Each structure stands twice: as structure tokens, then as C-alpha cells.
């Protein structure tokens, strides 16, 4: 019998992995913004064209990369953020899988310009469909710029699957909101088709939320605050009278990472019991700080789900903290005749 098993070449493996990491232009936005944050940038610019289908570019003033690191950054499982599996339980970075750049470069045309603080000159690298097509020594600002063009150029089925520009831009804005709300101390800018659509100066959480969500948000916010040995909760809930039909103002961040959690959402809903009209959704911006050893983020490549060691305690603390805040601000229950 003939042998039939073959090792897939790297570029094929990367293209397959890319399927999980990069669903649409918004996934590229998320990965590049997170890399800029991990690079300790204080100013980050996001530039998109045609809802990211033509261009997604992130320009940061972070630590930059040496020429060798720049080359390595496009390899799969290449990361500066962890060294061993144990490090997964003391993560202080957004990234750790070392596969975003490899995945993105496998399915797009990528141009990177990067320069470290101490260096006079930096590096330009072009990678297309996983292959390095150009490397030059260049004079470029300190930090890193990564431009991702023609996403899915070599996977027509994926490219055709992309939705209208309006829908794809909505996804990009959602990712942008999640990232900027988690990092108010970083100055973020966003441009779409040449127009500035966000310029968010560094500030505190309240200022950032108000900047992002718009004018009247400030008066709607009720602070939430709770500190215990296992957990710190800070942030805001929106007064019940401003509840919405949609879930568009619901954000959980765990150690400054946006996450989705039906379980924690339930805890918040439970604190609003009796004070929300039927079918209405409360707004919340809740920041949970926990010991990194007590959570597992490595459940899915997009890292929006977390496994908590002790979710029951978390549930109870969150519920009581939100309830307490609503009570303090004299949020009265809705009486039956009000319905």
C-alpha cells in the first residue's frame, strides 16, 4: 500500500489557519490594533478604505521591530509575548498565539514599515500571499505601520462572501469601539476613505465612553465600583430610563480585553430586575480585573470568550455591585401601572 499522508507546506497551513483568525476586514483591524497596543503605543491611527476591502492600515508609535524580528513576525507561531505554555496563565498582552500576521499575510498584500527608537533607519517589508516580495532599508517614523491591501485576493470565495461596505464598516466600527473603550489612555484616530471619523484624545474611562458613544452619554452613566480579593469591578451602567431595544451598548472587558459572556450578561440583567420595561436592554461598560491565572483566554483564536475558574463568585459579585449602584442613584422600580 502506498503512503498517502503529506505535510502541508507552510503557506497552505497559514491559509487554513487564516480562516479562523480572519473572517472579514474587521478581524484585521482587531489584530493590528491589538499588536499596536502590545507594542506600548501611545498614539494609534487606523486608516480604512472601502470598508477595509481595499485597505486596512494601522500606524503606531510603539517600540517597533528590528529587521530580524520584522522578518520573523510573519512566521507562524512566532511571538515575542510568551515563551512557554505556563505563560498563558500570566498574560499581560493581547496577543500570544503568534499567528495573526502569518495568517493575514497569507491572504492579502501586506506592507510593513517599522523602526525602533534607537535606530536611525528602519525596515520595509512586503509580503504577498505569504511570500516576502520586497525588503528595504528605509527612513521611517519610530514605531510600526502595517498596511493590509486586497484582503482575500487569493481566496475568491471568501472575497465574494464579504457583505456590503455599510455592513463591513459596521463590523470595523464595532471592533474599533471595543478596543478604544478598553484603552482610554491611548490616543486613537480613525479615517475612512480619507475622512477623519474619530479623534479620541487620551483620557479616563468616563471621558472615553462619552467621546465614543456621543454627547448626552455623560448624564446617563452610573458608576459601578467593587473591590474584593479576587476581583475588581469598575465602570458604568446606563440609567434604566435610557435602556434600548438593542444590545449595542453592552460591553464587558476582562483585564482590558473585550469579551462576550452570556453568563455575566445574565448577572447584570438580574440586577435590573423589576426596573426595566419588557424587552429593554440596559447599557453597560463594565471592566473586570482578575488574576490572569484564574482565567483561560485560549478557547478560540479570536479570544472573545473566557473561561473563569470561579464564575459563580463572579456572577454574585457583579450582580450585587450593579444592584448597589442602581440603588444608590435612586433608580426607582417601575410600578405596574407604569407599564
Q: Which does 98 bind (CB under 5 to 8 A by kind): ligand ADP, Mg ion, none?
A: ligand ADP
Minimum distance from residue 82 beta carbon to ligand ADP (Å): 8
Minimum distance from residue 290 beta carbon to Mg ion (Å): 22
d(CA 144, CA 115): 7
CA angle 311, 317, 323 (to 5 degrees): 135
Residue 34's nearest CA partner among 317, 297, 307 is 297
Minimum distance from residue 69 beta carbon to ligand ADP (Å): 6
Handedness of CA 271, 274, 275, 279 (dihedral sign): positive
Cβ-based nearer residue to ligand ADP, 147 or 321 = 147
Q: CB pairs under 8 A, 24+ apart, for 305-309?
A: 305/259, 305/260, 305/261, 306/254, 306/257, 306/259, 306/261
In this chain, which of 62, 95, 130, 143 binds Mg ion, going by CB under 5 A? 95
Q: Which does 168 bind (CB under 5 to 8 A by kind): ligand ADP, Mg ion, none?
A: none
Cβ-based nearer residue to Mg ion, 76 or 319 = 76
Minimum distance from residue 183 beta carbon to ligand ADP (Å): 14
Cβ-based nearer residue to ligand ADP, 57 or 281 = 57
Strands (E) in 118-238, as ranges, are 122-128, 131-138, 143-149, 187-192, 195-200, 221-227, 231-238
Cβ-based nearer residue to ligand ADP, 123 or 144 = 144
Where does this chain touch Mg ion (CB under 5 A) — which range of 15-23, 30-38, 149-157, 174-182? 30-38
Distances (CA, A) of 50 to 9, 25, 149, 167, 196: 32, 10, 11, 11, 14
Distances (CA, A) of 233 to 64, 116, 161, 184, 308: 33, 36, 40, 16, 15
Asked if 152 and 164 touch (Cβ cutoff 8 Å), the reply is no
Number of H helices, E strands in the chain: 10, 15
143 binds Mg ion (CB under 5 A): no
Site for Mg ion in 100-139 (CB under 5 A): 100
Minimum distance from residue 2 beta carbon to ligand ADP (Å): 37
Minimum distance from residue 257 beta carbon to Mg ion (Å): 12
Minimum distance from residue 95 beta carbon to Mg ion (Å): 3
- Three-state DSSP state, 71: helix
Task: Say which residue the cell 499567528 belongs to.
Answer: 99
d(CA 132, CA 137): 15
Q: Which does 79 bind (CB under 5 to 8 A by kind): ligand ADP, Mg ion, none?
A: ligand ADP
Interacting residue ranges for ligand ADP, rule: CB under 6 A: 31, 35-36, 38-39, 60, 62-65, 73, 78-81, 95-102, 144
d(CA 232, CA 330): 23
Minimum distance from residue 28 beta carbon to ligand ADP (Å): 11
User: What residue number has its CB nearest to ligand ADP?
Assistant: 95
Q: Which does 60 bind (CB under 5 to 8 A by kind): ligand ADP, Mg ion, none?
A: ligand ADP
Q: Which does 39 bind (CB under 5 to 8 A by kind): Mg ion, ligand ADP, none?
A: ligand ADP
Q: Which does 73 bind (CB under 5 to 8 A by kind): ligand ADP, Mg ion, none?
A: ligand ADP
In this chain, which of 35, 116, 145, 281 binds Mg ion, going by CB under 5 A? 35
Cβ-based nearer residue to ligand ADP, 105 or 314 = 105
d(CA 135, CA 112): 10
Burial zone of 22 (CB within 10 Å; 0-12 exposed, 13-18 middle, 19+ buried): buried
Residues at the site binding Mg ion, with contacts judged by CB under 5 A: 35, 95, 100
Amino acid at each position: 500500500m502506498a503512503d498517502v499522508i503529506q505535510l502541508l507546506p507552510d503557506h497552505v497551513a497559514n491559509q487554513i489557519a487564516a480562516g479562523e483568525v480572519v473572517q472579514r476586514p474587521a478581524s484585521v483591524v482587531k489584530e493590528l490594533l491589538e499588536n499596536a497596543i502590545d507594542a506600548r503605543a501611545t498614539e494609534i491611527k487606523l486608516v480604512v478604505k472601502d470598508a477595509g476591502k481595499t485597505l486596512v492600515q494601522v500606524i503606531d508609535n510603539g517600540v517597533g521591530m528590528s529587521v530580524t524580528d520584522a522578518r520573523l513576525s510573519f512566521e507562524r507561531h512566532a511571538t515575542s509575548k510568551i515563551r512557554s505554555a505556563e505563560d498563558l496563565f500570566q498574560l499581560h498582552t493581547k496577543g500570544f498565539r503568534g499567528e495573526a500576521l502569518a495568517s493575514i499575510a497569507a491572504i492579502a498584500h501586506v506592507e510593513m514599515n517599522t523602526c525602533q527608537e534607537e535606530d536611525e533607519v528602519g525596515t520595509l517589508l512586503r509580503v504577498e500571499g505569504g511570500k516576502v516580495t520586497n525588503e528595504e532599508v528605509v527612513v521611517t517614523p519610530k514605531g510600526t505601520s502595517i498596511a493590509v491591501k486586497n484582503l482575500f485576493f487569493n481566496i475568491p470565495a471568501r472575497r465574494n462572501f464579504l457583505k456590503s461596505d455599510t455592513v463591513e464598516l459596521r463590523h470595523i466600527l464595532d471592533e474599533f469601539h471595543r478596543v478604544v473603550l478598553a484603552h482610554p489612555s491611548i490616543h486613537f484616530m480613525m479615517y475612512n476613505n480619507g475622512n477623519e471619523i474619530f479623534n479620541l484624545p487620551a483620557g479616563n474611562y468616563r471621558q472615553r465612553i462619552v467621546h465614543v458613544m456621543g454627547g448626552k452619554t455623560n448624564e446617563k452613566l452610573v458608576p459601578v465600583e467593587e473591590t474584593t480579593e479576587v476581583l475588581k469591578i469598575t465602570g458604568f451602567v446606563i440609567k434604566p430610563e435610557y435602556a434600548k431595544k438593542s444590545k449595542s451598548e453592552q460591553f464587558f472587558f476582562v483585564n482590558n480585553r473585550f469579551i462576550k459572556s452570556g453568563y455575566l450578561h445574565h448577572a447584570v440583567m438580574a440586577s435590573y430586575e423589576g426596573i426595566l420595561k419588557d424587552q429593554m436592554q440596559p447599557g453597560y461598560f463594565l471592566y473586570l480585573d482578575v488574576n490572569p491565572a484564574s482565567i483561560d483566554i485560549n478557547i478560540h483564536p479570536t479570544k472573545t470568550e473566557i473561561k473563569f475558574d470561579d464564575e459563580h463568585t463572579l456572577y454574585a459579585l457583579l450582580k450585587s455591585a450593579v444592584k448597589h449602584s442602581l440603588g444608590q442613584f435612586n433608580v426607582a422600580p417601575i410600578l405596574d401601572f407604569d407599564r
